[in-house]
Amino acid sequence: GVDLVRDRATREPAGREATAVVNGLRQRGILIGSTGPAANVLKIRPPLVFAREHADALVDALDDVLSGLSGIAPPAGGAR
């Protein structure tokens, strides 16, 4: 999986951001899930037939969704 964190030094889990990524990719026709105690690990389970162009489409969509995360409000009482 892909572990999303808010800060590389503290490794604070980014569960809200992971949910936004899952939903953003779903809107683009790519189904992934999240897992882990903080639901911040993206689990990517490609179908049995997964060609290079599918990987490229996943990476492009993930880049697009992650680039748009700046609009997510930090959790109450916490810095982002």
Q: Is residue 76 part of a domain?
A: no
8-37 pLDDT, tens digit each: 999 999 999 999 999 999 999 999 999 999
CATH of residue 19 = 3.90.1150.10
Q: Is residue 79 part of a domain?
A: no
Q: Is residue 33 part of a domain?
A: yes
Q: Is residue 18 part of a domain?
A: yes
Counting the structural domains of the chain, the total is: 1
pLDDT score for 32: 94
Q: Is residue 35 part of a domain?
A: yes
Range of the domain at 45: 2-70
Q: Is residue 77 part of a domain?
A: no
Q: Is residue 75 part of a domain?
A: no
Q: Is residue 78 part of a domain?
A: no
One DSSP character per residue, the chain reads -EE-EEETTTTEE-HHHHHHHHHHHHHTT---EEESTTS-EEE----S---HHHHHHHHHHHHHHHHTGGGSPPPTT---
Task: Look up the pTM and report it.
Answer: 0.79
Model confidence at 79: pLDDT above 70: no
